[in-house]
Amino acid sequence: MKNEFLENRFNINRRHFLGKMTAGIGSVALGSLLVPDLFKGSGDDSDALPLGIPHFAPKAKRVIYLFQNGAPSQYESFEYKPMLNKMAGQELPASIRMGQRLTGMTANQAKFPLVGSHFQFAQYGQSGMWMSELFPNISNIADDLCMIKTMNTEAINHDPALTFMQTGAQQGNRPSMGAWASYGLGSENKNLPAFSVLLSRGKGNGQGVYSKLWTNGFLDSTHQGVVFSSGEEPILYLNDPAGTDRSARRKMLDNLSELNNMAYDDFGDPEIKAKVQQYEMAYRMQTAVPELTDLSKEPDHIIKMYGPECLVPGTFAANCLLARKLSEAGVRFVQLYHQGWDQHGNMVGEMPLQAKDTDRASAALITDLKQRGLLDETLVIWGGEFGRTNYSQGTATKDNYGRDHHPRAYCTFMAGGGVKPGTVYGETDDFGYNIVRDPVHINDFHATVMHLMGLNHEKLTYKHLGRRYRLTDVAGKVIPGLIA
């Protein structure tokens, strides 16, 4: 009986075998196509999770980060504090300041006179969100926003604060948020980079931006942000040199790849492989990029929505429209930097100019994504590196004043991508100086963004110099109150 059972058990013909194994073989094949490195092995990082696949079901497939470089004042935008107007000119109470750290620009001031907003505030939407008159278009989409009132950081000067907000560390040579997203998830479009960077400059005083903000750090250079310029060539050196056609370019790249692979066999430097991948990506982008960056073919109602400035290359409006196109085409992380928000003085003169540059296009981007059915899977972020003081830097007059840096509490909003719409999260005191409820530290913010993308911030790591690094380093927790 036993031998008969074994004979029947293994008496499987070819058709039966293939029929039973189709699902398994198909799954393996599909996995290898979607994630080429899935079965490559993990080297010495034995507990690393497979790259290219979310750790769990993501709410956001892509991110568009509208970074307002220079730190916009929360008191002239989204933080309504009538107490500051009521007590204008009076000294900041010692019980509120509590001897907290000041910058070198105001540490030697004899007085710290409170100053309220020069601009009117009102409530908008069913959520009753308070917003300044400077942002009428963003006010119209209040119920789509998740407004954080309690962002906070340790950094009190621009360079470390910018670096911290973008990379999770105040010092340089750490991978940026976009690089981590590229490393963990890759791109949805093999003809475009996973991480793109767009730059614009406003009319106000601005802090500079620099490549360490979108660096790959110690990750492979394929994860570095690809900068799109506003010139005739959106990406420098992408086009073929004069006298070179596509077939000659292809032959040159094939020969160069062969030489690089020989060098890799000799030296084993992974950056050699990364360079080969970058050359191939550049070749594929030659076809994809010109079509994407041609905004003139957008329909009239879209141009009207973003404003006529969207047809002027390098403006914030043009970059918002381009960000939508890049995201729609499968770019995983699009990072915009808009410079000009550093109002230590002339707040009344400069703040309206910056708001005018960004208000309409920011709202248009969110509306555009929503009407295309893309907002639910695209996370839009708007905010700077820290906030502004509730007291005046220097002398405040009836018609003008300035504000210094304030890292202890400031505003950032998000939309789409699985966040709670029409929500105000966190609360500061009546002076807007200290947090009284639900703080959101930079590390917590990063952890939450990674979570929305389906990534466990504690598991997405890279071994470097003998230890495992991550975007949130050794801190950070996901904030459930921000997630729908």
pLDDT at 6 over 50: no
Give me the domains of the chain, ranges plus CATH numbers: 62-236+282-482 (3.40.720)
pLDDT tier for residue 85 given thresholds of 50, 70 and 90: very high
Helices (H), 268-299: 270-293
**Average pLDDT along the chain:** 88
The DSSP secondary structure of 418-448, one letter per residue, reads TB-TTEEE-EE-TTSSSEEE--EEHHHHHHH
User: Is 60 exceeded by the pLDDT of residue 21?
Assistant: no
pLDDT score of 362 more than 90: yes
| Percent with pLDDT over 90 in the chain | 69
Q: What is the mean pLDDT of residues 92-121?
A: 94
Closest CA to 253 of 280, 285, 220: 280
411-449: burial string, b at 16+ Cβ within 10 Å, e else: bbbbbbbbbebbbbbbebeebbbbbeeebbbbbbbbbbb
19 has pLDDT over 60: no
* Lowest model confidence (mean pLDDT) among 3-17, 97-111, 429-443: 3-17
| pLDDT at residue 172, rounded to an integer | 85
Q: Find, among 355, 332, 334, the residue nearest to 343 by Cα.
A: 355
- Cβ atoms of 329 and 192 closer than 8 Å: yes
| Higher per-residue confidence, 34 vs 397 | 397
| φ, ψ at 148 (rounded to 5°) | -100, 120
Provide the angle, in degrees to the nearest 10, between the axes of the packed helices 316-328 and 347-371. Answer: 20
Q: At 283, is the pLDDT very low, low, confident or very high (cuts 50, 70, 90)?
A: low
pLDDT band at 43; cut points 50, 70, 90: very low
For 24, residues 6+ apart whose C-beta sits below 8 A from its C-beta are none
Q: What pLDDT, on a 0 to 100 scale, did the predictor assign at position 7?
A: 45
pLDDT of 39 reads 47
Cα dihedral 331, 165, 224, 180 sign: negative
Question: According to the model, what pLDDT value does residue 254 have?
Answer: 72
Q: Which residues neighbour 12 within 8 Å (Cβ) at sequence distance 6 or greater?
A: 20
| Alpha-carbon span 473 to 455, nearest angstrom | 15
Q: 3-state SS of the chain: helix, strand, coil percent to 5?
A: 40, 15, 45
Element (H, E) at 63: strand 62-69
Judge whether 447 and 477 are in contact, CB under 8 Å.
yes
Which pair of structure tokens corresponds to residue 282?
A: 């550049």
- pLDDT higher than threshold 80 for residue 353: yes
Residues 6+ away with beta carbon under 8 Å from 460:
49, 55, 180, 183, 184, 450, 470, 471
Of 111-120, 267-276, 343-352, 400-409, the range with the lowest mean pLDDT is 267-276
Q: Alpha-carbon distance 116 to 299, whole Å?
A: 42
> Over the stretch 120-171, which tens digit does the pLDDT of each residue have?
999 999 999 999 999 999 999 999 999 999 999 999 999 999 999 999 999 8
Predicted pLDDT of residue 276: 61
Q: Is the pLDDT of residue 52 over 90?
A: no
Question: What mean pLDDT is predicted for residues 407-414?
Answer: 98
Alpha-carbon distance of 455 to 56, in angstroms, equals 7
pLDDT for residue 143: 98
**Burial annotation 8-28 (CB, 10 A radius, 16+ → b, else e):** eeeeeeeeeeeeeeeeeeeee
Q: Which residues contact 423 (CB under 8 A, 6 or more apart)?
A: 127, 145, 146, 147, 481, 482
Label the pairing between strands 62-69 and 333-339. parallel
CA torsion sign, 160 to 322 to 308 to 368?
negative
**pLDDT at site 271:** 75
Residue 284 has pLDDT above 60, yes or no: yes
- Say if residue 201's pLDDT is above 60: yes
Which pLDDT belongs to residue 14? 58
Q: Is the pLDDT of residue 294 over 90?
A: no
Beta bridge partners of 444: none
Q: How many CB atoms lie within 10 A of CB 100?
A: 12
Confidence grade of residue 41 (pLDDT, cut at 50, 70, 90): very low
> What is the reported pLDDT for 278?
67
pLDDT band, very low/low/confident/very high, at 24 (cuts 50, 70, 90) = low
* Nearest in space to 315 (alpha carbons), one of 338, 341, 292: 338
**Residue pointed to by tokens 């006298």:** 243
Could you tell me if 409 and 435 are in contact, meaning their C-beta atoms sit under 8 angstroms apart?
yes
